[in-house]
Structure 1
Amino acid sequence: MEQLNEFHREFLAEVQGEADAQGLITTEAFLEKMGEILDEAGELSSFAQCYHEGVFKQKPVQVDGFGWDADDEEGVLSLVISDFHRHAEPGSIMKAEANRLLARVVQFVMASLDAGYREGLEESSQAFALADLIRRCWKKITKIKLILVTNRIYKSRTDAQSVGRIGEIPVTSNVWDLGRIQRFIEAGQTREDLVIDFAEDFGEAIPVLRASFDGAPLESYIAVIPGTQLAAIYDRWGARLLEANVRSFLQARGKVNGGIRDTIRKDPAMFFSYNNGLTTTAESVEVASIGEGLFLMSASNFQIVNGGQTTASIHAARKLAAEQLKDVYVQMKLTVVPPEHSETVVPNISQFANSQNKVNAADFFANHPFHIRMEEYSRRMLAPAGENGYREHKWFYERARGQFADERGRRTPAERKSFDAIFPKSQFFTKTDLAKFENSYRCKPHIVSYGAQKNFAELARAIGEEWGKNDGAAFDEAWFQRLIAKAIIFRHLERIIPAQTWYTGGYRANIVTYAIAKVVHDADARGRVPDLDAVWRLQRVPAALEQALLAAAEAANEVITNPPPGVRNMSEWAKKQACWARLASCSVAYDASFETVTIERDALRAVDRDTRVAKRQLNGIEAQREVVNQGGEYWSQLLAFGKSIGKLAPKEAGILQACTLLPRRVPTEKQCLAAVAIADRLEQYYDAVA
Structure 2
Amino acid sequence: MEEMQEFSIALEQTIDDYLGREPGWLRRDAFVRAAGDYLVEDGTLEDLEVCYFAQPVGRSRMEVAGYSVSDDGRVLDLVSVYYGEHGQTISRDQVRRRLNWTKLFATACHDGHHLRMEESSPQFDMVQDIHSRWHDFGKIRIFLLTDGRSTLQELPAEELNGLPIVQNLWDIERLRRLASSGRQEEPISVDFEEFGEPLPCLPAPGSEGDYQCLLTLIPGKLLADIYELHGSKLLQRNVRAFLQARGKVNKGINETIRKHPDRFLAYNNGISATATGATFEQRGNETYLLRLSDLQIVNGGQTTASLHHAAIRDGADLSRIQVPTKITVVQPDLLDQLVPNISRYANSQNSINEADFEANSPFHVELERVSRSVWAPAVLGSTRQSRWYYERVRGQYNVDRARRHTAAKQKSFDEEFPRGQRFTKTDAAKYDLTFRQLPHVVSLGAQKCFQWWTLNVLAESPTVPDENYFQALAAKRILFEHGRAEIRKLNPGAGYLANVTTYTLARLAAEVDLDDALATVWRRQGLPDSIRRAVAELSRPVRQVLLAAPGSGNVTEWCKKEDCWKSVLDISWASPLAKVATQAGK
Same fold (TM over 0.5): yes
In 1: Cα distance, 2:185 partner to 2:362 partner: 27
User: 1:567 — aligned with what?
Assistant: 552
Alpha-carbon distance change, 396 to 180 in structure 1, aligned in 2, over 3 angstroms: farther
What letter corresponds to residue 520 of structure 1 in structure 2?
A: A
Give per-residue Cα distances to partners, 1:215-274, cap 9 Å, x unaligned. 432122111111111111111111111124437851696322221111111111111211
Secondary structure, aligned partner of 1:92 = coil
What letter corresponds to residue 47 of structure 1 in structure 2?
A: L
Alpha-carbon distance change, 431 to 157 in structure 1, aligned in 2, over 3 angstroms: farther
Alpha-carbon distance change, 597 to 297 in structure 1, aligned in 2, over 3 angstroms: farther
Give per-residue Cα distances to partners, 1:10-50, cap 9 Å, x unaligned. 32244245435544322233334445544444444453333
In 2: Cα distance, 1:40 partner to 1:324 partner: 34
1:492 to 449, 457, 482: 482
- 1:437 equivalent to 2:431? Answer yes
Alpha-carbon distance change, 204 to 99 in structure 1, aligned in 2, over 3 angstroms: farther
User: 1:216 — aligned with what?
Assistant: 209
In 1: Cα distance, 2:62 partner to 2:244 partner: 31
1:548 to 523, 531, 534: 534
- 1:122 equivalent to 2:118? Answer yes
Give per-residue Cα distances to partners, 1:285-308, cap 9 Å, x unaligned. 222223332222222221111111
1:508 to 484, 493, 497: 497
Secondary structure, aligned partner of 1:563 = coil
Structure 2: gaps spanning 5 or more residues: none
**Which protein shows a greater Rg?**
1
Alpha-carbon distance change, 50 to 400 in structure 1, aligned in 2, over 3 angstroms: closer
Quote how far apart the aligned CAs of 1:189 are: 4.0
- 1:26 equivalent to 2:27? Answer yes
Alpha-carbon distance change, 31 to 561 in structure 1, aligned in 2, over 3 angstroms: farther
2:413 to 419, 426, 429: 419
Secondary structure, aligned partner of 2:553 = coil
In 2: Cα distance, 1:505 partner to 1:247 partner: 37
Higher RCO (CA 8 Å, separation ≥ 6 residues): 2
Identity %: 37
Secondary structure, aligned partner of 1:519 = helix
Secondary structure, aligned partner of 1:65 = strand
- 1:106 equivalent to 2:93? Answer no
In 1: Cα distance, 2:266 partner to 2:555 partner: 46
Give per-residue Cα distances to partners, 1:35-81, cap 9 Å, x unaligned. 55444444444533333223557553222221125xx3352221112
1:302 to 295, 299, 302: 295
User: 1:163 — aligned with what?
Assistant: 157
2:281 to 263, 282, 288: 288
In 1: Cα distance, 2:549 partner to 2:459 partner: 34
User: 1:480 — aligned with what?
Assistant: 470
Quote how far apart the aligned CAs of 1:462 are: 3.6
User: 1:10 — aligned with what?
Assistant: 10
User: 1:579 — aligned with what?
Assistant: 564
Alpha-carbon distance change, 98 to 272 in structure 1, aligned in 2, over 3 angstroms: farther
Q: CA RMSD in A?
A: 2.8
> Which 10-residue stretch deviates more, 537-546 or 130-139?
130-139
Give per-residue Cα distances to partners, 1:313-359, cap 9 Å, x unaligned. 11112224445211111111111223322223222211111111355
In 2: Cα distance, 1:252 partner to 1:485 partner: 35
Alpha-carbon distance change, 133 to 380 in structure 1, aligned in 2, over 3 angstroms: closer
Alpha-carbon distance change, 403 to 128 in structure 1, aligned in 2, over 3 angstroms: closer
Structure 1: gaps spanning 5 or more residues: 600-690
Quote how far apart the aligned CAs of 1:459 are: 1.7
In 2: Cα distance, 1:494 partner to 1:42 partner: 29
Quote how far apart the aligned CAs of 1:517 are: 0.8
Quote how far apart the aligned CAs of 1:576 are: 0.8
Alpha-carbon distance change, 26 to 39 in structure 1, aligned in 2, over 3 angstroms: same
- 1:534 equivalent to 2:520? Answer yes
User: 1:151 — aligned with what?
Assistant: 147
What letter corresponds to residue 561 of structure 2 in structure 1?
A: K
In 1: Cα distance, 2:205 partner to 2:168 partner: 36
Compute the TM-score of the two structures, normalised by the length of structure 1: 0.78
What letter corresponds to residue 160 of structure 2 in structure 1?
A: I
2:349 to 356, 362, 380: 356
- 1:135 equivalent to 2:135? Answer no
In 1: Cα distance, 2:252 partner to 2:381 partner: 60
Alignment of 1:26-45 (within 5 A): 26-45=27-46
What letter corresponds to residue 230 of structure 2 in structure 1?
A: W
Give per-residue Cα distances to partners, 1:88-140, cap 9 Å, x unaligned. x422334443233222222222222225x553333445444333333322222
Alpha-carbon distance change, 446 to 125 in structure 1, aligned in 2, over 3 angstroms: closer
What letter corresponds to residue 363 of structure 2 in structure 1?
A: F
Between Structure 1 and Structure 2, which shows a larger proportion of helix residues? 1
In 2: Cα distance, 1:529 partner to 1:13 partner: 34
Alpha-carbon distance change, 466 to 51 in structure 1, aligned in 2, over 3 angstroms: closer
Secondary structure, aligned partner of 1:287 = strand
Quote how far apart the aligned CAs of 1:557 are: 2.4
What letter corresponds to residue 398 of structure 1 in structure 2?
A: E
User: 1:54 — aligned with what?
Assistant: 55
The answer as to whether partners of 1:45 and 1:451 remain within 8 angstroms in 2 is no
In 1: Cα distance, 2:92 partner to 2:190 partner: 22
Quote how far apart the aligned CAs of 1:551 are: 2.5
The answer as to whether partners of 1:52 and 1:63 remain within 8 angstroms in 2 is yes
User: 2:74 — aligned with what?
Assistant: 75
The answer as to whether partners of 2:521 and 2:528 remain within 8 angstroms in 1 is yes
Alignment of 1:131-280 (within 5 A): 131-157=127-153, 163-186=157-180, 189-200=183-194, 202-211=195-204, 213=206, 215-246=208-239, 249-250=242-243, 254-280=247-273
1:590 to 552, 560, 575: 575
User: 1:681 — aligned with what?
Assistant: none
The answer as to whether partners of 1:74 and 1:312 remain within 8 angstroms in 2 is no
The answer as to whether partners of 1:249 and 1:454 remain within 8 angstroms in 2 is no
The answer as to whether partners of 2:210 and 2:330 remain within 8 angstroms in 1 is no
2:330 to 315, 337, 359: 337
> Which 10-residue stretch deviates more, 484-493 or 547-556?
547-556
